[in-house]
Chains A and B, each alone.
Chain A
Amino acid sequence: MLQSLASNSCVRLIQSHKSTWYFASLVLGYVLYLIFGAVVFSSVELPYEDQLRQELRAIKKQFLQENECLSEERLERFLKKALEASNYGVSILNNASANWNWDFTSALFFASTVLSTTGYGHTAPLSDGGKAFCIIYSVIGIPFTLLFLTAVVQRIMVYSTRRPIMYFHQQWGISKPLVAIVHATLLAMLAVSCFFLIPAAIFSALEENWNFLESFYFCFISLSTIGLGDYVPGEAVNQRFRELYKVAITVYLILGLIVMLVVLETFCELQQLKQLRKMFYLKKEKPQDRLAILEHDHLSFTTVSKRAASQGEDKTQSFIGVPTLMSPNDDPMIQ
């Protein structure tokens, strides 16, 4: 989902420059980045996996020795079933069966994770009907969520970014790029402390087995909509106020996503970032007509965002100087 969201904001920065060199270097960088990640992950995690593997083997052997009446084959069959169930969020452990995965608040939490495309996967629909509904629900719901988020972010942006920058620019006479970068940094710090550090502290207090890093990791994985699902809050055995807790987390996730997008957008409007882009920009020649066609296409990403932007802006905020949104040379139509 972030894919489509960012196409609304960040990517319009680089849109006007279509050199193939840039594209090639981008792809190359992407592949290298993936390979780099794979190398690091495998070197960091492999020893742990090996250790766990050996532990598991030892425990199994010990268990079979202690309970000699149990055949290995029979144990494995049972375990297979138990693991399958645990993948669906049904635990075999005695005490854990007290809370339901699909009571109303959990279902609500689930629906919100589907729509924001976080998708923890701690519970997933089991029935065929549930699966089919899940597909249809998200086919309609995800674009709807995008629209909603874009609309909200556009409105917040005016108050969070453009107006303060204009204010400091006019009142104190500081140059606009400087104000913008200071503002963006402060905003990012504020967002990180309000939506990462404080919630992480709260989670580490509320959840029994989570330390601060694990809570922070959870916040990051959630708000970036990766949603690995290795940590999911509110799943503990004797969670008090479980319903309320789940609803609070749902609200936190949606608010957090909006704030993340606002910060992202703020950074995208930075003048310095546009400078950075110019470094990648190698070739000047470009067929003007093809560009125009691309920009005119109604499928094109810019049009959506620009329309959303203009909708948000020009209707009421026309008095605060809309042209600050982007400098004229960013606009391919003018060039």
Chain B
Amino acid sequence: MGLKEMLSLVRVPSILLLGLLYVVYVLIGGVIFWELEGELGQKDIGLLLSNKKKLLLKYTCLDQDGLEAVAQVVQDASKVGLSLKGNYTSDGFWKFTSSAVFAATVVTTIGYGNISPTSTAGRIFCIFFALFGIPLNLVVLNRVGKYMLAIERKISDFLEGKTGRRKCTRFFVHLVSYMSGTLLFFVVPMIVFQQHEGWTFSQAIYYCFITLSTIGFGDYVADSNPDKVYPEWYSVLMASWIFFGLAWLALVINHSMDILERLNNHFKQWWTRETPEEESGSVEEENPETLETQVEEEDKIKKTPIT
């Protein structure tokens, strides 16, 4: 019984600590964003207001209300992806290909929001579509990630057979796969977007990251500028990039989560060094055990103090 109490004592602080750390992390983020962006936003508003005043001065027939009314209309229109700029030759957002891209951003939970359903029916459908689509997407992406991992494994095994050095080749293959993943899913798209969208490199890499992490602000969205003509292969390339990139990034995020968890375990182990029973329990976590054996281990641990 004493052991069990001790264990629960060890466990409660760890979750509290984690929670506390999390809150602190969010708070720090809030403060830094506040610091970085607050002034710039102020400047932006100032610029816009002076611009507006200049316009009102120049065209005296235009009154404040009239201008604001038109600005309101345009703002609303831009929210649904329309632009007031002269030419209406482009065939609108809700054509088939763009709708497919929208559906993909919904099920992957990217949700740029540069475009969103405006009709009631569209909204209700969106809810149900996402309800079934998101789990489906999870399963598929996970499968793809697994296959990518399996390919990496095969190459690793093949090379291991050739060279005979286990640890070295494994490390090498991991390194190469991560490097090539970064190259394929960040560097190459960055160059392509920089070429076709007229963004700077920093904007392009920001877009790549925000998309693949499924944050999806929608401040930069590829293939959506109404004033540009995109080649045919562009949207296909973008879709496949998002698809494989998401699978890859899920893999990477899981890996880093694994590292964090191992770190956590390490600290916990270090924390409770003085109790030898504890140690035998936490060492077990190093390799993936089935639950059955875990239970056996637990029994063993419980027996040790008695015998």
Contacts and interface: CB of A to CB of B under 8 A. Distances in A.
Interface in A72-88: 72, 74-76, 78-83, 85-88
A283 interface: no
Nearest to B210: A119
A121 B113 contact: yes
Contact of B26 (A39, A80, A108, A307): A108
A322 B294 contact: yes
A10 B139 contact: yes
Nearest to B112: A121
Given A37-B129, A90-B45, A110 B33 contact: yes
Contacts of A224: 109, 130-131, 134
B257 A39 contact: no
Q: Summarize B's interface: helix, strand, loop or mixed.
A: helix
A319 B214 CA distance: 40
A213 B122 CA distance: 12
Interface residues of A, number: 156
Contact of A138 (B121, B157, B215): B215
Contact of B133 (A37, A45, A100): A37
B109 A69 contact: no
B166 interface: no
Nearest to A108: B30
Given A1-B109, A323-B291, A143 B253 contact: yes
Contacts of A163: none
Contacts of B265: 311
A290 B281 CA distance: 29
A299 B258 contact: yes
A304 interface: yes
A217 B32 contact: no
A125 B49 CA distance: 20
Interface in B169-215: 202-203, 205-206, 209-210, 213-215
A242 to B, nearest CB: 15
Contact of A6 (B74, B75, B103, B138): B138
B288 A296 contact: yes
Interface in B111-169: 111-114, 116-127, 129-143, 145-147, 149-150, 153, 157
B229 interface: no
Given A93-B72, A126-B41, A119 B215 contact: yes
Contact of B15 (A127, A151, A301): A151
Given A49-B80, A121-B219, A307-B288, A315 B7 contact: yes
Interface in B213-261: 213-219, 246-247, 250-251, 253-258, 260-261
A161 to B, nearest CB: 16
Interface string A102-123: 1111111111111101111101
Interface string B38-79: 101110110011011001000111101010101111110111
Contacts of B62: 67, 69-70
B99 A42 contact: yes
A178 interface: no
A36 to B, nearest CB: 8
A114 B142 contact: no
B33 A111 contact: yes
B74 A79 contact: yes
Given A7-B254, A41-B103, A112-B26, A56 B84 contact: yes
Contacts, number: 459
B138 to A, nearest CB: 4
A331 to B, nearest CB: 5
A157 interface: no
Given A41-B94, A104-B30, A147-B261, A213 B113 contact: no
A46 interface: yes
A148 interface: yes
Contacts of A89: 41
Contacts of B119: 44-45, 48
Interface in A291-335: 293-304, 306-311, 313-316, 318, 322-323, 325-326, 328, 331, 333-334
Contacts of B7: 315-316
B43 to A, nearest CB: 9
Contacts of A7: 138, 142, 145, 250, 254
B111 A85 contact: no
A69 B60 contact: yes
A26 interface: yes
A128 interface: yes
A82 B48 contact: yes
A130 B82 contact: no
Nearest to A319: B4
A217 B126 contact: yes
A152 B52 CA distance: 50
Nearest to B255: A299
Nearest to A138: B213
Given A131-B202, A314-B298, A322-B294, A52 B77 contact: yes
Of A39, A53, A79, A129, most buried by chain B (CB within 10 Å of CB) is A79
A120 B33 contact: no
Interface string B10-48: 110001001101100111011111101110111011001
B73 A115 contact: no
Nearest to A60: B84
B83 A44 contact: no
A120 B258 CA distance: 28
18 contacts: A3-B109, A7-B138, A34-B103, A49-B80, A49-B93, A50-B92, A101-B37, A102-B38, A108-B30, A114-B29, A125-B33, A141-B29, A143-B257, A225-B109, A299-B258, A304-B258, A308-B261, A316-B7
When A and B form their complex, which 8 residue pairs have the shortest distance between CB atoms, in order from nearest? A37-B103, A111-B29, A119-B215, A108-B30, A121-B217, A229-B113, A38-B100, A226-B111
